[in-house]
A and B are shown apart, each in its own frame.
Chain A
Amino acid sequence: MTFAPMSGVALDAPAPVGFAEKIWRINWGLVLVLTAIAGVGVLALYSAAGGRFEPWAARHAVRYGSALMLMLVVAMVHPRIWLALAWPIYVLSLLLLIAVDVIGKIGMGAQRWLVVGPMQIQPSEIAKVAVILVLARYYHGLRKEQASQFLYTLPPLLVILAVVGLVMVQPDLGTAMMVLMGGGALLFVAGVRIWMFLAAGVAAVACLPVAWSFMHEYQRKRVLTFLDPDRDPLGAGYHITQSKIAIGSGGLFGKGFLKGTQSSLNFLPEKQTDFIFTTFVEEWGMAGACVLLALFSLVLIWGFAIAFRSHHHFGRLLALGVTAMMFLYVFINTAMVMGLLPVVGVPLPLVSNGGTALVSVMFACGLLIGVNVYRDAQLPRTR
């Protein structure tokens, strides 16, 4: 693909954006909403620790602060750079995923972390962002007709499935699902034919028995438990049952801050990570839950708005990819703790305790805001 010829109507090209303008273009409202969500996280973690800042709430606040800085820095980076870095980042994430599979440290029955100096990094979190970047870059370089052709759909499929495969091996069903569905959403908006999705759906159903045979015993148990929670109410169904009890007993307005009984008495598993929503909702009730979901919805709406306003396809796809990822995080996590999905280990972004997910989400939000900052940048359609 070549550059579109730069004709005399170069007046169309926007004037270069100054630094002040860039700062102005940052979606400060979005930043506020994100901070509000992180604030909910601090509140919930404070309560989960029995009314103490240690060990989670204080660290969460500090982490959010640093991640916020990172996000703003990322937002100021020109999309051209991301276009150039997309493949290297993706390849790096693949290497890290392989590394984690090989020498990964055992944690929570799954190998997910790599220890780099004082940090534990979760390559799958990097991979999520990397997939979005690569797909956005790929479809940015395609014409509409090409995008709809089957042959041109194979490379992105490979990009997605490589990550999904490596993540499944860990095994991390939640992340695999997210990458698959997030990637699928990107392909969908990029213009892949509908029949291909239908075909993929049929293939997926056909592959179910194979997937079943590859699953770990505990994963099978989770799926079976999800399908029939009464199968083993004290064993595998215990998490879901306890979570539902905590949420349900919260009622309309909750038991009050620090007055939750189920989470503070350790009936809830993983109350500070995957089940933080439960902890929060038990104390703040349906009202609190709706406020939190509304805040997330605002983030999504912002994401869509940014995508629609972008003048370049890369920005559109990037913004939508990040938005889809955000949605999947929120939906999978909350549906899981309410017993609508199997327990798969997906954190609630900005609320759950845990550094890597926070950084990757904020990094993604930085990309999103960057799309808005550089919405009228001119990007070459390179392959």
Chain B
Amino acid sequence: MKHFRKGDGERSGLFTRRALLLGGAQAVLLTALAGRLYQLQVIETQRFATLAEENRINLRLLPPSRGLIFDRTGQPLAVNRNNFRAMATSDRGRGADVLVERLDQIVGLGETEKNRLLRELRRSRNAQPVVVRENLGWEEVARLEFNAPDLPGVFIDLGQSRDYPEGELMSHLVGYTGRVSDEDLAGRDDPVLQLATMRFGKKGVERSLEDDLRGRAGAVQVEVNAVGRVVRELDRTEGQPGSNALLTIDLDLQRFVAERIKDHQSGSVVVMDVVTGDVIAMVSTPGFDPSTFARGITQAEWRDLLDNPERPLHNKAIAGVYPPGSTYKMVTALAALESKAIDPYTRLPCTGFLELGNIKFHCWMKGGHGSTNVTEAIAASCDCFFYEAARRAGIDRISDMAQRLGFGRVSELGLPGESAANQPSRAWKQEKLGKPWQHGDTFNLGIGQGYMTATPLQLAIMTARIANGGYEVQPNLLLAKATPREELAPPPPRIRPTAPSLRLNPQHLQLIRQGMTDVVNSGHGTANHLRQRDPAFVFAGKTGTAQVKRITERERDMGITQASLPWHLRHHALFVCYGPVENPRYACAVIIEHGMAGGATAGPIGRDVLVETIKRDPSRRTDGFRKMASR
């Protein structure tokens, strides 16, 4: 036993020494743990406390509901519809792949959608949800809810999407909304635009009134868990819905106009109130179906729209540019009169052409009009008269008059995409073409050809300014706007223009208007087939035919006529008009692309639209109109 004890004692001694060493090491390590605790919980506790709060509290924006758009009679043009959509948040992109795969199995996403979703999930900050799928049906909602345990971070959200009850009819005017793009964000720091569900006006009024329609975001402070699910709400600030808007458009008239021009492949009509500038109707055909944008347009649909030669996405009323042709003759006449190049009694001869050097400028009437004064020249649309009048007035005066009447500039309508078209001048030609202005250019400009282009809206503005007695009226599309808490009502009717005067000589204006009246109402007028018997509907107008391809002398001898040309080479048919003649209230401009002859194609449309406009509007009656109606 002694031996045993001794050996064991030796072992025991070594064991004790080493065990104490081990125990000491353990003590040191445990002290290190305590030190770490001290570091985390005392020294750095403030920092971690802040981090913990940030982890936990999440500020979520509540998208405001978008303002509604109505026509002037209160019929809805753009409304919001309930939209069940699947949203997903990921834990800062973690598990996104798995989540997207599962979603694909459950609702079927497809490759492009999967990629978009993955990208957005990874990019999403502060666990902001991203949209998986919009406009879910009940079956899809049920399937998603049923599979909820396998889909952490996915939830169904009741949002709103835009609906356009009038579809194609109002497509160009109302436009559509789309996801917020980087360009949309430029200069706007509204945080609500960062929301994935937010939509931004892309075209039409949706775009021009974007900042009114959008409203202000509310915010809700929520406590979230790690996968972004809301545990409870801490604080809520209600947002403000967007303002509702009444447009100046009369939907019924708009429908009438669209119906009236639907037989023509491509054209546009603008109807304006000459006193207030209200655009009562504006149609451009063909249009497009805005719901394809609301639900998300496909690549193929987009291609189709872009490749269509009739350019359905293009609002031709404001963006289509055409040589105004004879409808421009009022400008030439006013410029010549104002510059005293001609006077009311000046008569100019027409032999069917005018020679400048060795170039012949033809009048549309082969034999010539003989001698005409300014009124007769407008009524008969004598080209020779206006070649000479333009020559006498000079480019500078014509250009100046045209600009006062609204050509060569973008109006104050505010719709995106409006073109300024082109009002040529000496400086313009020198700058653009590097050539000095020629006399021949002035001749061409005198009859609205050559470098001159205009939009249908500009033609309507010009007509309105002549009709209202020379006031610089601006087209206007917004009748009234109001927040949902305020009453949305049209302003009281006005009977006198509030726009500044263009300081045109009333006597000159009277001559021009007489000429336009005679176009429709006198025997030598170019559109006397449009004459109205009913005094309430008597109107004035001016035809125009804009050359697309010049038919040469030789071709004419070969019997080539407009009708025998392919569609895209035929002349454009133009017509501007206003009425009632006694107390003008409405101006209308019609362009039928490649419609060949203004008086024959565009004229009847202008007449029908104008008569319909006068007929159907009790609230906008002028004193004169009332007088006539009671007669």
Contact = CB atoms under 8 A, between A and B. Distances in A.
Interface of A: 4-7, 9-10, 12, 143-144, 147, 185, 188-191, 234-235, 238, 242, 244-252, 261-262, 265-268, 281, 285-286, 289-290, 293, 297, 300, 304, 307-308, 312-313, 316-317, 320, 324, 327, 331, 334-335, 338, 340
A65 to B, nearest CB: 29
Contact of B227 (A147, A266, A297, A317): A266
Contacts of B56: 261-262, 265, 267
A267 B225 contact: yes
Contacts of B49: 248-249, 251
B55 A267 contact: yes
Contacts of B40: 244, 247-248, 338
Contacts of A261: 52, 55-56
Nearest to B9: A144
Interface string B3-21: 1100110111011101101
A235 B49 CA distance: 21
A241 B484 CA distance: 47
Contact of A245 (B2, B4, B51): B51
B417 interface: no
Contacts of A281: 37, 41
Nearest to B16: A308
B94 A235 contact: yes
Contact of B93 (A147, A234, A293): A234
Contact of B3 (A4, A251, A293, A324): A4
B302 interface: no
A251 B41 contact: yes
A308 B19 contact: yes
Contact of B225 (A265, A289, A293): A265
Contacts of A250: 41, 45
Given A249-B48, A300-B26, A334 B19 contact: no
Given A265-B226, A300-B26, A313-B11, A191 B37 contact: no
Interface of B: 1-4, 7-8, 10-12, 14-16, 18-19, 21-23, 26, 29-30, 32-34, 36-38, 40-42, 44-45, 47-49, 51-52, 55-56, 91-94, 223-227, 231
A80 to B, nearest CB: 16
A234 B47 CA distance: 18
Contacts of B30: 293, 297, 331
Given A191-B14, A251-B45, A304-B23, A289 B1 contact: no
B15 A190 contact: yes
24 contacts: A7-B1, A7-B2, A9-B1, A12-B1, A144-B14, A189-B22, A235-B94, A248-B41, A248-B48, A249-B49, A252-B42, A265-B224, A267-B55, A281-B37, A285-B41, A290-B34, A297-B30, A307-B15, A313-B11, A316-B19, A324-B22, A331-B29, A335-B33, A338-B36
A313 B12 contact: yes
A331 B27 CA distance: 11
Nearest to B44: A248
Given A191-B11, A262-B52, A331-B33, A249 B231 contact: no
Contacts of B36: 335, 338, 340
A234 B37 contact: no
A290 B94 CA distance: 35
Given A246-B52, A252-B41, 18 more contacts: A4-B4, A238-B94, A245-B52, A249-B52, A250-B45, A252-B45, A261-B55, A261-B56, A265-B56, A265-B231, A267-B56, A300-B26, A307-B19, A313-B8, A327-B29, A331-B30, A338-B40, A340-B32
A192 B224 CA distance: 55
A293 B31 CA distance: 10
A17 B38 CA distance: 47
A269 to B, nearest CB: 8
A3 to B, nearest CB: 8
A143 B7 contact: yes
A76 to B, nearest CB: 25
B15 A191 contact: yes
Contacts of B231: 265
A194 to B, nearest CB: 10
Given A143-B7, A144-B11, A267-B226, A188 B18 contact: yes
A79 to B, nearest CB: 15
A327 B34 contact: no
B292 to A, nearest CB: 38
Given A4-B1, A12-B1, A262 B33 contact: no
A245 B48 contact: yes
Given A144-B10, A338-B36, A265 B18 contact: no
Contacts of B48: 244-249
Contacts of B38: 286
Q: Of residues B11, B223, B225, which shows the largest number of chain A Cβ atoms within 10 Å of its Cβ?
A: B11
Contacts of B23: 300, 304
A20 to B, nearest CB: 28
A158 B40 CA distance: 41
A248 B37 CA distance: 8
A189 B21 CA distance: 9
A190 B16 CA distance: 10
A136 to B, nearest CB: 11
Q: Of residues B55, B91, B94, which shows the largest number of chain A Cβ atoms within 10 Å of its Cβ?
A: B55
Contacts of B16: 308
Contacts of A249: 45, 48-49, 51-52
Contacts of B223: 265
The 5 A-B pairs with the shortest beta carbon distances in the complex, nearest first, are: A248-B48, A4-B4, A249-B52, A265-B225, A286-B41
Contacts of A316: 12, 15, 19
A320 to B, nearest CB: 6
Contacts of B227: 266
